[in-house]
Structure 1
Amino acid sequence: MRNILNRKFTLSLAAVCLSATTALAGEMISYTTNQDIDDVIFGLENAILDEGLVIDSTSHVGDMLERTRADVGSDVILFDKAEVYSFCSAKLSRKVMEADPMNIVFCPYDIFVATLAGKEDETIIGYRSFPDGPMKEVEVLLDSIVQSAIGE
């Protein structure tokens, strides 16, 4: 009997983990522009500040990947430049977490800006999509910031 209960528990736990992974897996929403990446970054920083938000951190992903490329045994150059800007909105974060405290998993919010190696004339800017429900309001904010950054 104990074996049957353990097996049912394990199967139930696996189902919960699978559904959680599916719910959290977001698609990327991105825009490509022929603007120089430094201009897009300047626009992004201003768009975030114009919303009354504070940039918590900037992750220099491109620099890190290039710096560690040889250390991990790769000769592939991925980006000419790639940055991720993290920030939060106290008002909006409170709203979505009052709806579901587990929306904490999505905070802070991130927007990336990158140029792929060999494609310096194209800058990509975007963010991760969010699940249906209250988090879609955050997605609307991120989309507004991204479009403002590239002048759309």
Structure 2
Amino acid sequence: MFRIASILFALLFQTQQAVSAEPVTPAESPIVVYESTATYSDIKSNIEFAITGRGMIVTNTLHISDMLSRTAADTGLEAKLYEKAESLEFCSIMLSYRMSKAHPANMATCPLTLSIYQQAGDEDHTFIAYRRPA
């Protein structure tokens, strides 16, 4: 059976950075999170390189921390949550097909999304997260 986790795991470890070998989240968690001591920019650029190196493209970058900062005063949500946070969306027809073949509900995970973030006040740790497919 096709496992998207193995593809994402390979992407993470192709970054050649200090990424934890095991997720920091429980095995049953719907979100898988890895922790790294590498810089945010190194993790992001190496993940982008790993994605494009597999013949895929990053179709969208969601600038989460910028959006939260920009709208904080207008929404009253002024507590800073992230130093930096972005989500990278990517996909390929073969991955989409294989995921859907493994379980029809997996189409809900397309495009694939990897989130990269640093928590407010902690630029020494970068986290990489993704949704666990069915």
Q: Which has the higher helix share?
A: 1
| Both proteins in one fold, TM over 0.5 | yes
2:133 corresponds to 1:130: yes
Which residue is equivalent to 2:19?
A: none
Tell me the distance in 1 between the aligned counterparts of 2:127 and 2:40.
8
Identity %: 36
Which residue is equivalent to 2:54?
A: 51
2:94 corresponds to 1:91: yes
Report runs of 4+ in structure 1 exceeding 4 Å deviation.
98-102
Question: Which structure has the larger Rg over C-alpha atoms?
Answer: 1
Q: TM-score, normalised by structure 2?
A: 0.73
Partner SS state of residue 115, structure 2: strand
Q: Deviations over 1:1-50 (max 9, x none)?
A: xxxxxxxxxxxxxxxxxxxxxxxxx6111111111100110111001111
Tell me the distance in 1 between the aligned counterparts of 2:48 and 2:105.
28
Give the RMSD, CA atoms, in angstroms.
1.7
Which residue is equivalent to 1:12?
A: none
Q: Flag structure 1 segments of 5+ consecutive residues without an equivalent.
A: 1-25, 132-152
How many pairs align?
107
Change (3 A) 1:114 1:99: closer
Cα distance, 1:91 vs. partner?
A: 0.8
